[in-house]
Amino acid sequence: MGEQFKRRTPSPWGEGAALKDEILGAAARMLAESGRETDLSLRAVAREVGIAAPSVYLHFKNRADLVEALRRRAYEELAGDLRKVRETATVERPGAVLRAMARRYVRFATANRRTYRLMFSVEWVEAPRDEATEYPTRLVHQVWTQAVSAVPGENDGRLDAGRVALFLWTSLHGMVSMAVATPYVVDQRTLTDMADQLIDLALAGSQR
């Protein structure tokens, strides 16, 4: 007896990208529910979408390929969120945009705890350093760098904006990671206050 699943309505010819997005969406939902990458077998994902397993292999060669696509998609979403904040935030005083971005980062991480952990829990094979520019972390780092560069006083040549951005991001990541790694409800207000204080400290140090 064949495997039973709710069959998906086939996409029109030439719209395979829509199916790929559905597969990624289903995999993301499954990951959010279980928190275990091992549950993301291509067969299970196919069942969730309502397609035969071979259809998934047209887009992802194996589970590792699917997980990497999910990781890249999460980085793209985070970078897009931060970019939107940077472009729309009202500049009330130096660092206001950075504070708004830090708060949005906290919300993203705490609202997507399992996805956030996936973004940084990398099982990798060491690659040449010159391939680092292709890794999706650069998308987020680029947005932070642009925001740091726009802060008055950061373009006087004393500090490299890219490095300051990296210091800020890694510090914020460390703080958030400790919070989302626990099984307890995250104290959103405290975490947001800490993010504000982190930006204040960074600005104070850069303006000496």
193 vs 203, higher pLDDT: 193
**Mean pLDDT score of the chain:** 81
Per-residue confidence (pLDDT) for residue 145, from 0 to 100:
94
Per-residue confidence (pLDDT) for residue 147, from 0 to 100:
92
Per-residue confidence (pLDDT) for residue 77, from 0 to 100:
94
Residues of the chain with CATH 1.10.10: 1-61
Cβ atoms within 10 Å, residue 32: 13
Least confident stretch, 30-34, 83-87, 105-109: 30-34
What percentage of the chain carries pLDDT values higher than 70? 78
Q: State mean pLDDT over 120-129.
A: 61
Cβ atoms of 69 and 26 closer than 8 Å: no
Fold (topology level) of 1-61: Arc Repressor Mutant, subunit A (1.10.10)
What is the 3-state secondary structure of the chain? CCCCCCCCCCCCCCCHHHHHHHHHHHHHHHHHHHCCHHHCCHHHHHHHHCCCHHHHHCCCCCHHHHHHHHHHHHHHHHHHHHHHHHHHCCCCCCCHHHHHHHHHHHHHHHHCHHHHHHHHCCCCCCCCHHHHHHCCHHHHHHHHHHHHHCCCCCCCCCCCHHHHHHHHHHHHHHHHHHHHCCCCCCCHHHHHHHHHHHHHHHHHHHCC
Q: How many CA atoms lie within 13 A of 72 on its CB side?
A: 11
Residue-wise pLDDT for 140-196, tens only, equals 999 999 999 888 765 555 678 899 899 999 999 999 998 887 777 888 899 999 999
Cβ atoms of 147 and 98 closer than 8 Å: yes
Fold (topology level) of 71-206: Tetracycline Repressor; domain 2 (1.10.357)
Measured distance CA(127)–CA(141) in Å, rounded: 20
Coil vs helix vs strand at 175: helix
Per-residue confidence (pLDDT) for residue 131, from 0 to 100:
59
Residues of the chain with CATH 1.10.357.10: 71-206
Residue-wise pLDDT for 75-89, tens only, equals 999 999 999 999 887
Cβ atoms of 94 and 203 closer than 8 Å: yes
